[in-house]
Amino acid sequence: MEQRLIKELTKIVGRDDILYDLKDLIAYSYDATPRQEMPDVIIFPHSTAEVSAIMKLAHQERIPVIARGAGTNLSGGTIPVRGGIILEMSRMNRILEIDTANQRAVVEPGVINLDLQNALAPLGFFYPPDPASQKSSTLGGNVGENAGGPLCLRYGVTSKYVCGMEVVLADGEVVEIGDYVADPPGYDLRGLFIGSEGMLGVATKLILHIIPKPEATRTMLAIFDTLEDGGRAVSEIISRGIVPGALELLDKKMCWVIEQSVSAGYPTDAEGVLLIEVAGLADTLDRQVEEISEICQKNKVRELRIAQTNAERDALWKGRRGAFGAVARICPPYSVCDGTVPRDKLAQALHRVGEIAEKYHVLIANVAHAGDGNLHPLILFDANNPEERAAAKKAGSEVLDTCIAFGGTITGEHGIGLEKMDAMRLMFDPADIAAMRRIKEVFDPDDILNPGKMFPPDESQPQPTQEEVA
Amino acid sequence: MKKTVSQEREAFHQQLGAVVGPENVLTEAQATASYQVDGFTPDGVVFATSTEQVSQVIRLANEFRIPIIPWGSGSKQEVGPCLSQSGTILCLKRMNQLIELDAGNFTAHVAAGMVNAELQKQLGEHRFFFPLDPVCMETSTLGGEIATNATGPLRLKYGAVRDLVLGVTVVTPTGDIIHTGGKTMKNVAGFDLCKMYIGSWGTLGIITEAVIRLFPLPEVSKSLLITASQENAFRLVGQLLESALELSAIELLDWTAGRYLGDHGAHLAEGKVLLLVNIDGDSAAVARREEAIKALAKTNQASEVVTLQGEEAAEVWNAYRRVHQALLDAVPSTAQGKASVPIGKAADMFRAIKEAGQRHHAEIGIRVYCGSGLLYPYVALEDDKLIFVIASLKQAASALGGFFIVEAAPLWARKKEGSLPQRSDATLMKRLKTAFDPNNILNPGRMFGGLY
C-alpha cells in the first residue's frame, strides 16, 4: 500500500491504532480456516466517525475493506483475498445501554458475546445466541455470520435478536437500519444485513433484544447404542411439544476424541450420546425430565445420566463445549462441515457421513445441534499428506451434497465465506444468485467490502474442480 | 400505427388469457368494481394458479409496462401509503393448496393464496398449528400476511413472521422465479432474501409459496381476562414481561375498544382496561403460570380475573380479533393507526393517545400488543381534527423514541397523512426497489409513497 494512504489512515485513527509491519500483517492473514492471504494494513477504529472516514477513503481509492471481530469464523470469511484494509473492530467494545423494561441492550460491535452475557446475568436477563466461540467472538462478528449455538433450538438465532443497527456503508455514509422499536416501516434491511458476511456494510452499533433468563435448567446425558435410536428420541421429544434449551448429539468418535483431552465422563463405546437440557419454571421441569426419560427408554437408551448438581451439569457441558478444542489437540488441521438437514433426517445423514468417511479413508467425528438438524462433521486429516488433504476436501464436499440431497442446506451457521463459494451453485439457481448479486450492487457497487467472497466465481460456467485450500 | 391505450390494454388482456386461460381474466366493469383500490378501478383482474403463470404474467406486464397489484384476499389493500397508478390485479387466491406437510420436520410448504384459518384447520387435523394469528386471519391469505408482515398476539411467545417463515418462493418484478431460504431451521447460505421479502408489501416481488414452521398443539392452553385500572394494568404487564413465566400473549383493550368484546368487556368503566393473557404448555407449567399471574394480578389490585379454557377461550380470542373491524365500522370516518414505542413505554403512549382524544373531544379506542410495544388507536374524527390528532400522536411516539403511522383510514386521510417517518436508510430502500423493479411494475406508490 502506498505510503500516502498509510499516512491518511494514520491521520484518521492515530499512530496507536494502525499496524503495517510484516509480522502484524501475517497475524491478520488467516482466521479459523487454513487459508492465508496478506492484508496491507490493519486499523483499529474507536468510533463510527473513524469508520466512516476510513470507508470514505477506501471508497475513493477503491481499497478492499474487511471488517473483522475476533477472527473465529469457520468459513474463511475474514481472509483478505484481495489485500486491503483489515478493519479490526475489537476496540469499539462498549456496552452503551441495558434496559430490561424495554428488553434492549445497545452495544458496539466489538463487545465479546460472553461479556454481554456477564453484564446481563445479574439483571436476570440474557442474550440467547451462544456460539461455541462466545468466550472470544464479538457480537459484530456474530451478526456478520448470523451465529447460532446450542440455545438457538429453543430461542432462535442471531437474526431474531438484532432489532436495529447503525451501519457505515461502502461510501462512508452512516445509516440506521431496523429500529429500537418493533416493526419499522420499509424493507427489512437489517434482515438482509445479518449474515451478510461483511459484504454490505460495517455495523458500528447494535440494538439487541434481551429476554428474561429461565428460572431453572436440568441437564441430562442419554447414551445410545445406535444413532437411529438417538435420532428417533430427538424427533419424539420435539413432537411432544417439549422445546429443550439444548439438544446436542455427539457420536462415538467424537466422544473418544473428547475423552482424550477433557475428562467429561462420556462413554467411548456408544454410537451416540445426546446432551439434553430443559429450561423453564423450576417446579415444572421434573415432569419434562420424566417425559424425556420415558422417550429415551422407549428408544432403547443404554444409560441416562441426570445432573443433580451444578458441578455435574458443568461436567456434562464441558465435553460438548470442549469438542472442537479436543479435536484440534489431537489433529490441528481438521475441517468443520456445517450442513443442516430437516431434523428427522439427522440419523440418516450421519450414517451417510460415516459411509463417506470410509469411502475416502478419513476420520470424521460428529457433533450436531440435533434439535435443529445442524450437523458439524469434523474431518481429521494429515495436512502434510497431499492425498489425505485432497480426500478430506472431497469428503467435505460430499457431506454437503448429502445435506442438499436430504432437503437441507450447505451451511447452518458458519457462512459461505471462501470455503463454500462453489457449493453455492448446489443450493441456488442462477436467478437466485443473480438476485443476491443485485443486493450486493445496491449496497456496494464498487465491490470493496470483503470482495471475493460468497459468490461462485462465474455462474455461467459449469462447476470447476475445487482447488485445494490447505 | 401507434396503438391507443385501450388497444394496448386489450392486447395485454388477450395475452394474459393465453397464459391463464381467458376465463381467468376479468375485464368487465361489473367484475372489476369489487377490486377498487385507493380510488382506482383496475382495468382487469387475473387469477393465477401456479408460480410459473405468475412469472409469465409479470413478464407480460413488463413488456406492456402495465402495473400489477398483487392480491390475496384484499384485507390489507387499503392500508398505508396509496397506490400512485392503477393497473391489473393479480389475484393469488386460487393458489390455495397445502403443498406439503412435513410432520417429522415440523414444516409446511404452502401456496400463498391459502387462507390462514383454512391452513390452521388442516394443520389441526395433524395436531399442529401455525402461531400467526393476525386480526384478519379468517380471510387473509398466508402470502398476504407475509408480504405485509402481519402480527398477532401469539408473537410474544412464538415470534414474528420473520421467525416463522423459513423460505419463500418469489416471482421478481421482472418475472424471474427465485427461491429463498429452505426448509431447515438454520440456514445462512448467501444473503437472507427471505427476510427482505417479508413485509415488502408486494413491491419487490410476488410471494407465491412459503415454507413455514409448525408447532405441536399445546397440551393445555388457557386465557386469563384481567380487569384493572389503566395504571395497575400496565404495571402488571411490566412485571409479567420481566418475569420468567414465558406467556404466549398479553393484549390490552381500553374501555372503548373493550366494549366490542361482548359480555367480557361490556362492564368496563372509564379508566379501566382489560388484559387478555394467554398461557400454553404442559399442564404443570400452565397451572404454575396461572397461579403466578393471579398472584401478580392481586398485588396490582386487579378488580377481576376470569380464567377461560377450551371453546370459551377460543371464542374470546375470536371476539378479540373482531374488535378491529367493529371499531372501524362503528363510525365510517374512523382512522386506525399504529404506534410503535419501546416496550416499557407503552403506558406513556397510551396516556398520550387518551390525552389527544380529550383535547379534541373524541373517543379513541385502543388495542395494545404489550409484548411488542405496539398500540393501535382507532380515532373517529373528520377533517382537520383527525389531522391534528394524528400530528400529536406522531409527536408523542417520536418523543418516546418510536413512531406513529396511519394504517386503515378513509382515502383522503391516507393521502394526506399516509407518509412514512423519515429514515436515514430510505435512499438505500429506494435503490433496492429500482434495482429489482426497474419498470416500477409492482404496486407503484405502495410503501415508497412516503419514502421519497
Residue in the structure block whose three cell numbers are 382495468: B43
Alpha helices (H) in A149-284, listed in sequence order: 152-155, 158-161, 189-193, 227-239, 252-261
> Is the fold of A93-212 the same as that of A331-405?
no
Q: Would the CA dihedral through B154, B158, B161, B164 be positive or negative? A: negative
Q: Quick count: other Cβ atoms within 10 Å of Cβ B295?
A: 10
Q: Domain B98-216, CATH 3.30.465.10 — does that match? A: yes
Q: Residue A408: pLDDT above 70?
A: yes
> Residue A64: which of A47, A78, A74 has the closest Cα?
A78
Looking at residue A168, what is its pLDDT? 98
Percent of chain B with pLDDT over 70: 98
Q: Which class for A31: exposed (0-12), middle (13-18), buried (19 or more C-beta within 10 A)?
A: buried
Tell me how close the Cα of A357 comes to any Cα of chain B, in angstroms. 24
Could you state, in order of their start, the residue ranges of all structural domains in chain A? 93-212, 216-324, 331-405
Asked if the Cβ–Cβ distance from A181 to B373 is below 8 Å, we say: yes
CATH number for domain B219-322, candidates 3.30.1330.30, 1.20.1250.20, 3.90.1170.40, 3.30.70.2190: 3.30.70.2190
Domain B219-322 identical in fold to domain B331-418: yes
* Cα torsion angle, A421, A322, A247, A264, sign: positive
Q: Looking at residue A469, what is its pLDDT?
A: 37
- Are B366 and B257 a contacting pair, CB within 8 Å? yes
pLDDT band for position A390 (50/70/90)? Answer: very high
Q: CA geometry: angle at A349 spanning A346 and A352, to 5°?
A: 155
Output the CA torsion B77→B78→B81→B86 (10° steps).
70
Closest chain B residue to A211, measured at CA: B242
Does pLDDT of B12 surpass 90? yes
Question: What distance in Å separates the CA atoms of residue B62 and residue B71, rounded to the nearest whole number?
Answer: 18
Chain B positions touching A207 (Cβ under 8 A) are: none
**Does an H or E element contain B167, and which?**
strand B165-171
- Any chain A CB within 8 A of the CB of B148? no
B25: which residues sit within 8 A by CB, 6+ positions away?
B13, B16, B17, B44, B45, B46, B47
Q: Which helix (H) or strand (E) holds B89?
A: strand B88-91
The residues in B 357-376 lying below 8 A from A, measured between CB atoms, are 372-374
Q: Which chain A residues are closer than 8 Å to B165 by Cβ?
A: none
Split at pLDDT 50, 70, 90, the class of A10 is very high
Contact between A343 and A235 under an 8 Å Cβ cutoff? The reply is yes
Assign B197 to helix, strand or coil: helix
Q: Reply yes or no on whether the pLDDT at B3 is more than 80.
A: no
Q: Which pLDDT score, from 0 to 100, does residue B144 have?
A: 97
**Chain-wide mean pLDDT for chain B?**
94
Q: Which residue has the cell 496491507?
A: A40
CB pairs under 8 A between A and B: 267
Strands B364-369, B304-309: pairing kind: unpaired
Q: Is the pLDDT of residue A291 over 60?
A: yes
Please indicate if any CB of chain A lies within 8 Å of the CB of B98.
no
Mean pLDDT to the nearest integer, B24-35 = 91
- Determine whether the interchain pair B450/A183 forms a contact, defined as Cβ–Cβ distance below 8 Å: no
CA A372 vs. chain centroid, Å, equals: 14
Question: Which tens digit of pLDDT belongs to each residue from A104-133?
Answer: 999 999 999 999 999 999 999 999 999 988
A111 is written with which cell numbers?
463487545
pLDDT in tens, A262-288: 888 999 999 999 999 999 999 889 999
Query: Is-contact A322 A353, C-beta < 8 A?
Result: no
pLDDT tens digits along B289-330 = 999 999 999 999 999 999 999 999 999 999 999 999 999 999
Could you tell me the sign of the dihedral formed by the alpha carbons of B140, B144, B145, B149, in that order? negative
Nearest to A110 by CA among A96, A121, A124, A99: A96
- Tell me, rounded to whole angstroms, the distance of Cα B216 from its chain centroid: 24
Task: Give residue B242's pLDDT.
Answer: 96
Cell 380515532, residue located: B379
Q: In terms of CA atoms, which chain B residue is nearest residue A125? A: B242
State how far the Cα of A189 lies from the Cα of B448, in Å rounded to an integer: 14
Residue with cell 393465453: B18
Enumerate residues 6+ apart whose C-beta is below 8 A from A223: A267, A270, A273, A301, A302, A303, A304, A305
| Number of residues that this document lists for chain A | 470
Number of continuous H segments (helices) and E segments (strands) in chain B = 17, 19
Q: What's the pLDDT at B303? A: 94
Tell me which chain B residues have a C-beta less than 8 angstroms from the C-beta of A374: 184-186
**Residue A467 pLDDT greater than 60, yes or no:** no
ipTM: 0.96
Average pLDDT of span B339-362? 97
Chain B residues with CB under 8 Å of A424 CB are: 189-190
B245 contacts on A by Cβ (under 8 Å): 281
Q: Do B432 and A176 touch (CB under 8 A)?
A: no
Q: Is B256 on the interface with A (CB under 8 A)?
A: no
**pLDDT number for residue A468:** 40
> Which residue matches cell numbers 438454520?
B186
Contact A89, A110 (CB under 8 A): yes
Task: Report the DSSP pairing between strands B206-213 and B272-281.
Answer: unpaired
Between CA B364 and CA B367 the distance in angstroms is: 10
Q: For B176-198, what is the mean pLDDT? A: 95
Nearest residue in B to A423, CA atom: B189
Looking at residue B384, its pLDDT comes to: 84
Mean pLDDT of B355-371: 95
- Chain B residues with beta carbon closer than 8 angstroms to that of A121: none
**Given CB atoms, is B270 within the 8 Å cutoff of chain A?**
no
> Whose CA is closest to B292, among A283, A277, A122, A100?
A283
CATH of segment(s) A216-324: 3.30.70.2190
Contacts of B190 in chain A (CB under 8 A): 416, 424, 427-428, 432-433, 436, 454
C-beta atoms of A153 and B185 within 8 A: yes
Q: Which CATH architecture has domain A331-405?
A: 2-Layer Sandwich (3.30)
- Give the chain B residue nearest A288 (alpha carbons): B282
Q: Rounded CA gap, B315 and A467, in Å?
A: 62
Name every chain A residue with its beta carbon within 8 A of the beta carbon of B421: 184-185
Per-residue pLDDT of A190-226, as tens digits, reads: 999 999 999 999 999 999 999 999 999 999 999 999 9
The predicted-structure confidence for A294-320, as pLDDT tens digits, reads as follows 999 999 999 999 999 999 999 899 899
Q: Does B295 touch chain A (CB under 8 A)?
A: no
Region for A214 from its dihedrals, namely left if φ exceeds 0, alpha if ψ lies in -120 to 50, beta otherwise: beta
Distance (Å) from the C-alpha of residue A283 to the closest C-alpha of chain B? 8
Confidence at B450, pLDDT banded by 50, 70, 90? low
Check residue A420 and give its pLDDT. Answer: 92
CA distance A168 to B42: 42
Distance CA B284, CA A280 (A): 11
Query: What homologous superfamily is domain B331-418 in, according to CATH?
Result: Ribosomal protein S10 (3.30.70.600)
- Give the count of beta carbons closer than 10 Å to the beta carbon of residue B442: 28
The rounded percent of chain A whose pLDDT value lies above 90 is 81
Residues of B in contact with A213 (CB under 8 A): 244
CB contact under 8 Å between A374 and B185, yes or no, is yes
Fold of A93-212: 3.30.465
What DSSP element (H or E) covers A346?
helix A346-360
Cβ within 8 Å of residue B266, ≥6 positions away: B259
Name the residue ranges covered by the structural domains of chain B. 98-216, 219-322, 331-418
B192 closest CB neighbour out of A182, A192, A408: A192
Question: Does the beta-carbon distance from A341 to B435 stay under 8 Å?
Answer: no
pLDDT higher than threshold 60 for residue A460: no
| B282/A287 CB distance under 8 A | yes
Partners of A184 on chain B (C-beta within 8 Å) are 340, 403, 421, 423
Q: Is B55 in the A-facing interface, judged by CB distances under 8 Å?
A: no
The grid cell for A16 is 496507536
Contact by Cβ (8 Å): B212, B197: no
Touching check for B285 and chain A: CB below 8 Å?
A: yes
Which residue bears the cell 400530528?
B391
Nearest to A68 by CA among A59, A60, A76, A78: A78
pLDDT at A73: 86
In B282-402, at which residue ranges do the beta strands (DSSP E only) sit? Answer: 304-309, 335-340, 364-369, 374-379
